Amino acid sequence: QSLLTQPPSLSGAPGRRVTISCTGSSSNIGANYDVHWYQHVPGTAPKILIYAHTNRPSGVPDRFSASTSGSSASLAITGLQAEDEADYYCQSYDSSLGGWVFGGGTKLTVL
């Protein structure tokens, strides 16, 4: 059971908008530790999508955005494309563990 809770699965039609939530607690997101997001297509290397809450590395489309409020964070994907079908993970630091934690992951299906 991860300290960061994500919905196990989500789906959306091409062109639509989806939001993936990441709920933490006072020892991680709520403690103002940075939240980061990754995209992982099984069988390939995971890819950083968003770092430090809202920042997109070069090459990541602006269809991907994220926000953090209180003990929760969310990743929004607009204009869904077939290539967005992947697993998505949030990540932060947890002071009770003394280490870095990932959410359980959300499998996104593009209908």
Partner 1 sequence: EVQLLESGGGLIQPGGSLRLSCAASGFAFNDYAMSWVRQAPGKGLQWVSTIIGSGYNTFYAGSVKGRFTVSRDNSRNTLSLQMNSLTVEDSAVYYCAKNGGFCTSATCYYFYQWGQGTPVTVSS
User: Could you list the residues that contact partner 1 (CB under 8 A)?
Assistant: 2, 33-34, 36, 38, 40, 44-48, 51-52, 57, 87, 89, 91, 93, 95, 97-105
DSSP letter for each residue of 52-86: TTTBPPTTS-TTEEEEEETTEEEEEE-S--GGG-E
**Nearer CB in complex with partner 1: 72/106:** 106
In the complex, least distance from residue 89 CB atom to partner 1, rounded to whole angstroms: 5
In the complex, least distance from residue 110 CB atom to partner 1, rounded to whole angstroms: 20
In the complex, least distance from residue 52 CB atom to partner 1, rounded to whole angstroms: 7
Other beta carbons within 10 Å of 88: 25
**Burial of 75: CB neighbours in 10 Å, binned 0-12, 13-18, 19+:** buried
**Nearer CB in complex with partner 1: 76/97:** 97
